[in-house]
A and B are shown apart, each in its own frame.
Chain A
Amino acid sequence: MSHHIVEVKDLKYSYPDGTPALDGISFLITHGESVAVVGSNGAGKSTLLHHLNGYLTPTSGMVRIGDLPLSKSTVQAVRRSVGMVFQDPDDQLFMPTVADDVAFGPLNLGLPLEEVNDRVDRALTTVGALHLKNRPPYKLSGGEKRSVAIASTLSMSPDILVMDEPSANLDPQARRRLIELLSTFTHTKIIATHDLDMALDLCDRTIILHGGLITADGPTLDIFRDSALLRRSHLEKPLSMQGCPACGSMAVK
């Protein structure tokens, strides 16, 4: 296992109609790191994520996952080690029941049935959703759907978790539970989000994307303290770092 688990080098991508989306991006993420990818709408976050599991092929540049440079021949192996959690869990939970869905990946890996069952139970227990096992996905609440979607990637035992807006559309309590759950994971995490407070809670490192370029890459706290940088990138300080409008006290971070 390589120490540099995700490496992106001079990645460029244009849509089929010629619109450039990523304009030369490079970064290196090491094992066990937790990285937030933030940026305004249309900054290229989703496009970047879609490169990390080989759904999109770069116009130029390179993506390397572990020891494998991403190419047609390695894409299956890469998808095995990169677990992708989608923004809309409805897109991800397509099987008739929760158990079927969590089993979908392991069954595609060709694992024996007992092993699949075992993995389903373990993954659901990890996210605290074992009691939902036999429910159909459309009967779940937003938070439950999110948990099950995470379980459905965990059951493939990925090394890397890539998440697109995991806290979107969750009520505050479900969001808090999600943050607590994610903080227990030892996987390498890449989280694309607008929820800067969650980024602050979960990620030591933040990458800011703007207009298809990386405008900043560094420790999360340093970046979020730089108001000018945030403004340039169409972002705003996380609420927990803003002063309290009611009592006027400054946040301590």
Chain B
Amino acid sequence: MAKIESTFFDIGYLDTLSYQQSPIHRLDPRAKLIVTLVFVVAVVSFDRYEISGLLGFFLFPVVMVSLGDLPLGYLLKKLLLVAPFAVFIGIFNPILDRQVMIVMGPLAISGGWVSFISILLRFGLTVTAALILIATSSFAGVCLALERLKVPRSFAVQLLFLYRYLFVLIAETRRLLRARTLRSFDGRGLGIKVVGSLIGHLLLRTLNRGRRIYLAMLCRGFDGEIHTMRRLKMTGWDFIFMFGWILFFIVIRNHNLPQLIGNLLTGVF
């Protein structure tokens, strides 16, 4: 988990992005959620040595980022920040799998490197897809979509509560941490003992807050059901968006687009 300040910034920033107006933002969150899931499944369904087949999938993030007015630089930076795990596991591939697979003049590339690159591509595609989903649909939108797609209501509502109080609790944690930092010297006061009571404090406050929120809900007639005013409506555009992309994914999953173009080119020369 990243540092608290950057976490705070990230959630806030993605949240702000999600309130922009763009053709992508206006689409029904259900359509975006489904397309994203199909995209991820299609991407990871490739053979481990596949590289060129994956490239066609970059069309999706490219279109979404440009039509959705998302800042490319920010997304790339996020991508780099979360890369270590995929790299950590993937880097064993070139070490363990040394069979030469591609020979290009003097350059011999082992299967391990190919699959490592494949892992990095998958990683880039799937992570960006998740970030794009949230940056164009808003968290509340995703929750609403989940609920309409028959995810249990209490889970969806709970996600909303989590999101709402994330901001409050992160701010509270920040204050606690500042108080700790200001009074700990030479690394003393940063150990597990202090953390136990620090987190314990936060937990007590949170439990009390939970009680107060419940009280606030009771005061306004809460009866076990949470009603919202929001209504979702799938329009023609949503269906075109959804089926268009899914069709595209199926086609490029089964037909290697770059390979095809490449073949045409090498055929020409």
Listed in ascending order, the chain A residues whose CB lies under 8 Å from chain B are 50, 53, 55, 76, 79-80, 82-84, 86, 88, 90-92, 94-97, 99-100, 103-105, 107-109, 113, 116-117, 120, 136-138, 152-153, 156
CB distance from A33 to the nearest CB of B (A): 21
CA distance A227 to B245 in the complex (A): 76
Please list 6 pairs of residues, one from A and one from B, whose beta carbons are closer than 8 Å in the complex, sorted by A's number.
A82-B219, A90-B168, A104-B226, A104-B227, A105-B221, A153-B220
B263 at the A/B interface (Cβ < 8 Å)?
Answer: no
Closest to B172 in A: A90
Pairwise interchain contact A88-B164, C-beta atoms closer than 8 A: no
Pairwise interchain contact A138-B228, C-beta atoms closer than 8 A: no
Closest to A86 in B: B216
Q: Which residues of B contact A138 (CB under 8 A)?
A: 164, 167-168
B140 at the A/B interface (Cβ < 8 Å)?
Answer: yes
Which B97-135 residues sit within 8 Å CB-CB of chain A? none
CA distance A76 to B226 in the complex (A): 16
Q: Which residues of A contact B226 (CB under 8 A)?
A: 104
Pairwise interchain contact B212-A91, C-beta atoms closer than 8 A: yes
Q: Which residues of B contact A99 (CB under 8 A)?
A: 229
CA distance A152 to B213 in the complex (A): 14
Q: Which residues of B contact A96 (CB under 8 A)?
A: 139-140, 143, 160, 163-164
CB distance from B266 to the nearest CB of A (A): 53
B218 at the A/B interface (Cβ < 8 Å)?
Answer: yes
Listed in ascending order, the chain B residues whose CB lies under 8 Å from chain A are 15, 139-140, 143, 160-161, 163-165, 167-168, 209, 212-213, 215-223, 225-230
Given contacts A94-B164, A107-B229, A138-B167, contact A88 B212 (CB under 8 A): yes
Q: Which residues of B contact A107 (CB under 8 A)?
A: 227-229
Given contacts A99-B229, A100-B229, A136-B15, contact A80 B221 (CB under 8 A): yes
CB distance from A96 to the nearest CB of B (A): 4
Q: Which residues of A contact B223 (CB under 8 A)?
A: 108
CA distance A194 to B255 in the complex (A): 72
Pairwise interchain contact B220-A152, C-beta atoms closer than 8 A: yes
CB distance from A78 to the nearest CB of B (A): 10
CA distance A36 to B212 in the complex (A): 22
Pairwise interchain contact A94-B220, C-beta atoms closer than 8 A: no
Pairwise interchain contact B212-A86, C-beta atoms closer than 8 A: yes
Closest to B15 in A: A136
Q: Which residues of B contact A90 (CB under 8 A)?
A: 165, 168, 209
Q: Which residues of A contact B209 (CB under 8 A)?
A: 90-91
Most central of A103, A116, A117, A138 by chain B CB within 10 Å: A138
